[in-house]
Amino acid sequence: MSNVAVIGSQWGDEGKGKIVDWLSSRADVVVRFQGGHNAGHTLVIDGKVYKLHLLPSGIVRPGKISVIGNGVVVDPWALLKEIETVREQGVEISPATLKLAENATLILPCHSAVDGAAESARGKGQIGTTKRGIGPAYEDKVARRGIRVCDLAEPDILKEKLERLVTHHNALLKGLGAEELDHEAIFKDLQDIAPEILSYADIVWKTLDDAQNTGKKILFEGAQGMMLDVDHGTYPFVTSSNICAAQAATGAGISPRHIGYVLGITKAYTTRVGAGPFPTEQENEVGEKLGTRGHEFGTTTGRKRRCGWFDAALVKQSIKTGGIDGIALTKLDVLDGFEEIKICTGYELNGEKIDYIPSGQQAQASLKPIYETFEGWSESTEGARSWADLPAGAVKYVKHIEELISAPVTLLSTSPEREDTILMQDPFSL
């Protein structure tokens, strides 16, 4: 029995939350290993909707351990607020079930302030970040100025580090014409919440080592998607962390040998929130129809998601760079009733045919998709729970995708509801 890592294969919002929640019935521990509250993962269980940002999507299942790994950037106020909201929905959360890595980096008010100010300063070159402070917090981490969960237990160190950090950010904020911040006020606010945050603090690498040694099954939950990976995505229109499965090892503190099967969550079409290249985008009635049928509005910012056809070349690339073994294909039901469906199999760039997304910004923006046209199906796939319930046209579409991306579809999702899921192969057994 192996562990399983779930990562997004497109630009995020592929339905990772739903699949992680579904798979977590087979796991003992669910671990977030990168990103922060820029993520928005929606679970629908018997009609009840849970929106998670920082909490692992296994949190709603009693008896599971939820872990926020060291690779996550954590806004402590956002975390406490989310714990409260989810508790109000009847979910039990306690230090026995939620573990926060003591070496995780904190997102502080200076990070969201700089995120917002830097976006405004980019003018036409805006990334369209979530303005949650994700990028600036990761910058501080690698610049070795970051403040970590464990610093909350050492007030003298915290005070000293905070003063240096805020001085650094104030220089930036001043230069960007934004309001400066007071390090003493942030110190006081942090002291107020330190006891509660520290109650969840944990030596996560040890917890995971124990879990591994006692035969527990670990499910690693990625946020965002491979095209937002800081190395392999459509840079600079990306997030500030690595999304690839390899990050599950560094972002949790576990051997890469223990990652196990890597499941790439993949939407049956493509969406993107924020700016940046999107070769198969449909700024027409097709895009509108996909957006309306798929309810494509961001869980975190409420922004309308850009929509387009399935891009097999893009997913194939994500499979390679992300280390994906097989995919969970979601939102197949959104394609019901389309007379014809297009699938991108490669691109034309400056008169040449290529089967990959190049790294250059101008090259990425100039890609012209090459499409195959596929006959749609008129029957409904919505809520289908077995392969036999699917219309022949939908089965053909899934099989064709498998061929184009050279990877198996191990799970299929046919509605937002937890149980509207078709299992072809149990990833924990692969």
Catalytic residues: 13, 41
Q: Which stretch binds ligand IMO (CB under 6 A): 127-135, 199-207, 362-370, 382-390?
A: 127-135
Tell me how far CA of residue 156 lies from CA of 3, 111, 159, 196, in angstroms.
40, 22, 5, 19
Judged by CB under 6 A, does residue 100 bind ligand IMO? no
Give Rg (Cα) of the chain.
21
Q: Which is nearer to ligand GDP, 18 or 99 (CB)?
A: 18
Binding mask 287-306 for Mg ion (x = CB under 5 A): ------------x-------
Q: Any idea which residue has 């929509």 for tokens?
A: 307
Q: Is 406:4 a contact under the CB 8 Å cutoff?
A: no
Choose the one of Mg ion, ligand IMO, ligand GDP, none that binds residue 274, judging by a C-beta under 5 to 8 angstroms depending on kind.
ligand IMO
Bridge partners, 98 (sequence order):
66
Judged by CB under 6 A, does residue 44 bind ligand GDP? yes
Q: What are phi and psi of 69, to 5 degrees?
A: -80, 170
Binding mask 241-280 for ligand IMO (x = CB under 6 A): --------------------------------xx------
Binding mask 311-350 for ligand GDP (x = CB under 6 A): -------------------xx-xx----------------
Judged by CB under 6 A, does residue 308 bind ligand IMO? no
Q: Which is nearer to Mg ion, 290 or 341 (CB)?
A: 290
Judged by CB under 6 A, does residue 413 bind ligand GDP? yes
Q: Which is nearer to Mg ion, 12 or 369 (CB)?
A: 12
SS3 386: coil
Q: How far apart are CA 81 and CA 83, in angstroms?
A: 5
Judged by CB under 6 A, does residue 42 bind ligand IMO? no
Peptide bond into 56 cis (omega under 30): no
Choose the one of ligand GDP, ligand IMO, Mg ion, none that binds residue 93, judging by a C-beta under 5 to 8 angstroms depending on kind.
none
Question: 328, 327, 329, 325: which is closest to 262 by C-alpha?
Answer: 325
Contacts of 345 (CB under 8 A, 6+ apart): 312, 313, 355, 370, 371, 372, 404
Q: Which is nearer to ligand GDP, 270 or 413 (CB)?
A: 413
Q: What are phi and psi of 207, to 5 degrees?
A: -60, -45
Q: Which is nearer to Mg ion, 40 or 276 (CB)?
A: 40
Q: Which is nearer to Mg ion, 40 or 58 (CB)?
A: 40
Question: How many residues comprise the chain?
Answer: 430
Q: Which stretch binds ligand IMO (CB under 6 A): 20-28, 83-91, 147-155, 221-229?
A: 221-229
Binding mask 295-314 for ligand GDP (x = CB under 6 A): x---x---------------
Choose the one of ligand IMO, Mg ion, ligand GDP, none that binds residue 129, judging by a C-beta under 5 to 8 angstroms depending on kind.
ligand IMO
Q: What is the dihedral of CA 105, 107, 113, 115, to 10 degrees?
A: 60
SS3 146: coil
Q: Any idea which residue has 């990562």 for tokens?
A: 7
Judged by CB under 6 A, does residue 414 bind ligand GDP? yes
Q: Which is nearer to ligand GDP, 83 or 329 (CB)?
A: 329
Binding mask 177-216 for ligand IMO (x = CB under 6 A): ----------------------------------------
Q: How far apart are CA 231 and CA 13, in angstroms?
A: 19
What count of other Cβ atoms lies within 10 Å of the Cβ of residue 280?
A: 23
Q: DSSP secondary-structure letter at 107? A: P
SS3 71: coil
Choose the one of Mg ion, ligand GDP, ligand IMO, none that binds residue 228, judging by a C-beta under 5 to 8 angstroms depending on kind.
ligand IMO
What count of other Cβ atoms lies within 10 Å of the Cβ of residue 62?
A: 8
Q: Total number of residues binding ligand GDP (CB under 6 A)?
A: 23
In the complex, the residues that contact ligand IMO under the rule CB under 6 A are: 8, 11-13, 38-41, 127-130, 132, 134-135, 223-225, 228, 239-240, 273-274
